[in-house]
Amino acid sequence: MEHMIRLDELTKRFPGQLAVDSVSMDIPEGEIVVFVGPSGCGKTTTLKMINRLIEPTSGRIFLEDEDVTRINADRLRRRIGYVIQQIGLFPHMTIASNIATVPRTLGWDKQRIAERVDELLELVGMDPEAYRDRYPKELSGGQNQRVGVARALAADPAVMLMDEPFGAVDPITRERLQNEFLRLQDEVNKTICFVTHDVDEAIKMGDRIAIFGDDHGIQQFDTPEMILSHPANEFVEDFLGSGAALKRLHLRRVREVALTAWPAAGVAEDRDTLREKLEDSEQSFLLLLDEQRQPVRWVSRRDLERGEGRMADRGLPVAAIIEPHATLHDALDEMITSNVGCAVVVDREGAYQGVVDIDPVMTAVNTLRAELRERLAVGSWHAVPTETVEEGTS
Amino acid sequence: MQALGEFLARRWPQLLELAVEHLLLVLTAIVLATFIGVMIGVLVYRSAALSSLATAMTATILTIPSLALFGLMVVWVGLGDRSAVIALTAYALLPIVRNTVTGLQGVDPAVNESAKGMGLSARARLLRIDLPLAWPVILTGVRVATMLIVSIAAIAAYIGAGGLGNWIFDGLARRGSVVAMPLIISGTLGVVAVAFILDGFYIVVGRVTTPRGIRD
């Protein structure tokens, strides 16, 4: 099987209005393909034609090389995970029942369903014991969105369709959900179609991006690197907007750059040790960690010298905290808001890993630029040197 | 008042019997009306035109004076319980149909879309998602319908369906006698009592049948 999903000249005409004009696309297995474009460009309609919530006027849809354009729609949909912006959890059912919906429809036995529910809750970072028997209204927006993703993954579908899944949450939650989702994707490796109107989100999430235009067709379908460096036409260029160099920072993740070692110490250590540690370094702030090695405070020399009282109440709170999955764009964003001028990197459990300051960001900007220049000089259209899938014609 | 007290003391077993008869008459009609009304609601709620048509038609039934409808039923079906149940069922339809439509239309479109997108069949969506979510609203309709026909059921005694209406009609027939007023008053109070009991019953039913996730 070469492609997980193939769209063959899909067209949708609503009465008196063309919504999607002959879209053809091959989506390789295990990739996240983002559909992005202005409103009314047909990106959502295209997505909904894949699970046939909207029936195409003409054209064909292939899933795992099988023509699914005419098969039973309900049975097709059970093979495809579906996540929407409004989530649509069933309010009268517990979290466990929500997640169990498709497995139950497929006739799994109780034991298997219960195990799967717990497994999925853990996968999306929620304690099964605490959440299994709760109801959607008792959870926050971000938690409900996680349950929505778990529910879509329940029967382990090869394909997931996500319609602006993180569009309705606040920016901080959105960033966290995006990073969590990318980490999740590393584990589950699904083929994902993802609709958004946010270019930054598209660049961050997509292995490949399809830019839809006002003509209801695809303007460009390529990797984020290529789209940023080689917009196919004026429309794409306008749509990307300015600051392509800044956007390129979405293409590098924190885990790919060397972290800077920063003087850090346990919050319980005695004051002289702390002072010594700070003085041995070239920095003006010391990072204090709690027993779980989670960052708690930034303290300066002055904070250390000042009178009595608990160490944990001194200095400044650590605000800029990111996970290795975050992009350098996120890191830069955090850095700018941080008091100390760097972002603290923590692992899944929240334990301190290191910090990112402006240097690796500048290095990344330079190497990304150099890589591009090199690639353009060689005349290769392959975005990533290790890429095996032919994409020169797209 | 004293006459009423003596009357009740003497005849309360009979009053209880009539009240039970009354209650059963109402409950039979309500169960039927709930089945029929919910079914009508399910069939029409997706179309605005059909929904208004169904509401208008069931509303029309309500405008028929009860004596006239009971009279017609006697002509078509004959005297007795059966006529009364049919007429009461017809009266109970409006609130049930209307609330079923309202309840089903009120289900969050996102819930419907995600249910459809997960591959639940139309039947499964109706039975597992839409009806349970609309249930509190439907139940309110059933409750209103019940209150409506508890009093109309008193008139069913006129066509031999029994119930507390018996005493009311008896009292009316014996105007002037000592027992006339006690008959009418205790029949009426009985109807009120049945209504209260049923209302309490619905509160319990509502508690028990509304899932915790959608309780207020």
pLDDT of residue A244: 73
- Tell if the CB–CB gap between B119 and A87 is shorter than 8 Å: no
For tokens 């919050």, what's the residue?
Answer: A267
Q: Evaluate if residue B153 carries a pLDDT over 80.
A: yes
* Range list of β-strands (E), A184-327: 191-196, 208-212, 218-222, 264-266, 285-289, 295-300, 316-317, 321-322
User: Which residues does residue A211 pair with via DSSP β-bridges, in sequence order?
Assistant: A36, A220
User: Amino acid identity of A113?
Assistant: I
CA distance A134 to chain B (A): 8
pLDDT at A378: 59
- Give per-residue pLDDT as tens, A157-209: 999 999 999 988 888 888 888 988 998 999 999 999 999 999 989 999 999 99
For residues A270 and A264, give the distance between their C-alpha atoms in angstroms, rounded to a whole number. Answer: 13
| Chosen from A90, A160, A161 to mutate, greatest number of chain B CBs within 10 A | A90
Mutation pick from B104, B118, B121, B130 vs chain A, by most beta carbons of A within 10 Å, is B118
The C-alpha torsion from A168 through A339 and A291 to A121, rounded to 10°, is: 10
Which chain B residues contact residue A135 at CB under 8 A? 211-213
Name which of A73, A80, A82 is nearest B114 (Cβ-Cβ). Answer: A82
Q: What proportion of chain B, given as a percentage, has pLDDT over 90?
A: 75
For A341-375, letters b (16+ CB in 10 Å) and e give ebbbbbeeeeebbbbbbeebbeebbeebeebbeeb
Report the pLDDT value the prediction gives residue A385, as an integer from 0 to 100. 42
Q: Which of A53, A73, A93 sits opposite B213 (nearest CB)?
A: A93
Name the E strands within chain A: 3-14, 17-28, 32-36, 58-63, 66-67, 80-84, 159-163, 191-196, 208-212, 218-222, 264-266, 285-289, 295-300, 316-317, 321-322, 343-346, 352-356
Q: Answer whether B213 sits within 8 Å of A91, measured CB to CB.
A: yes
Instruction: Pick the residue from chain B with its C-alpha nearest to A73.
Output: B119
Nearest CB to A86; choose among B110, B116, B212: B110
Q: How many residue pairs bridge chain A and chain B with CB atoms within 8 Å of each other?
A: 75
Per the listing, tokens 């010298």 go with A305
Distance from the Cα of B196 to chain A's closest Cα (Å) equals: 29
Amino acid letter at A56? P
Question: Does residue A34 sit in helix, strand or coil?
Answer: strand
| B16-64 residue pLDDT tens | 999 999 999 999 999 999 999 999 999 999 999 999 999 999 999 999 9
Mutate to test the interface with B, among A68, A85, A101, A193 (most CBs of B within 10 A): A101
A84 vs B114, B124, B213: nearest CB: B114
Closest CA to A181 of A34, A292, A63, A46: A34
Residue that the structure tokens 């089945």 belong to: B35
Mean pLDDT value of segment B174-200: 92
- The two structure tokens encoding residue B111: 């819930």
**Inter-chain contact A88–B214, Cβ cutoff 8 Å?**
no
Q: Which residue has the tokens 């063309």?
A: A18
Cα–Cα distance measured from residue B136 to residue A7, given in angstroms and rounded to the nearest whole number: 44
Cα-trace Rg, chain A: 24
Q: Out of B110, B129, B214, whose CB is closest to A84?
A: B110
User: Which residue in chain A has the smallest CA separation from B123?
Assistant: A74
Q: From the list B110, B118, B214, which residue is nearest A77 (CB)?
A: B118
Fold topology of B9-211: MetI-like fold (1.10.3720)
- Measure the CA–CA gap between A321 and A350, rounded to whole angstroms: 9
Tell me how close the Cα of B206 comes to any Cα of chain A, in angstroms. Answer: 14
Torsion angles phi and psi, residue A210, rounded to 5? -110, 120
Q: Are B81 and B153 spatial neighbours (Cβ–Cβ below 8 Å)? A: no
- Spell out which residues of chain B touch residue A145, defining contact as CB-CB under 8 Å: none
pLDDT at A380: 45
Please give the structure tokens belonging to residue A232.
């196919």
Check: CB of residue B148 under 8 Å from CB of residue B95.
yes
- Pairing of β A208-212 and β A264-266: unpaired
Q: Does A89 sit within 8 Å of B114, measured CB to CB?
A: yes
Tell me which residue in A79, A91, A148 faces B214 most closely, judged by beta carbons.
Answer: A91
Q: How far apart are CA B152 and CA B98, in angstroms?
A: 20
The tens digit of pLDDT for each residue in A321-343 reads 888 888 888 888 888 888 788 88
Question: Exposure of A251 by Cβ count < 10 A (0-12 exposed, 13-18 middle, 19+ buried)?
Answer: buried
Give the closest-approach CA distance of A51 to chain B in angstroms: 7
Say if the Cβ atoms of A91 and B119 lie within 8 Å: no
> Chain B interface residues facing chain A, Cβ-Cβ under 8 Å?
108, 110-121, 124, 129, 132-133, 211-214
- Dist CA A69 CA B98 (whole Å): 39
Where helices occur in chain B by DSSP H, the ranges are: 2-44, 48-63, 66-76, 81-105, 109-117, 122-124, 131-155, 165-173, 180-209
CA distance A269 to A258: 28
Torsion from C-alpha of A303, A307, A308, A313, nearest 10 degrees: -30
Q: Tens of pLDDT along B96-144?
A: 999 999 999 999 999 999 999 999 999 999 999 999 999 999 999 999 9
List, for residues A130-141, the tens digit of each pLDDT value: 999 999 999 998
- CA-based nearest residue in chain A for residue B120: A74
**Angle A376-A199-A59 from CA coordinates, rounded to 5°:** 85
Instruction: Report the length, in residues, of chain B.
Output: 216
How far does CA B83 lie from the centroid of its chain? 15
Identify the segments of chain A with pLDDT beneath 50.
379-394
CA distance A43 to chain B (A): 17
Torsion of CA A344, A350, A351, A357, to 10 degrees: -10
| Residue for token pair 């606040």 | A170
CB-CB under 8 Å, A87 with B118: no
Is B116's CB within 8 Å of A53's CB?
Answer: yes
Q: Are strands A191-196 and A32-36 parallel, antiparallel or unpaired?
A: parallel
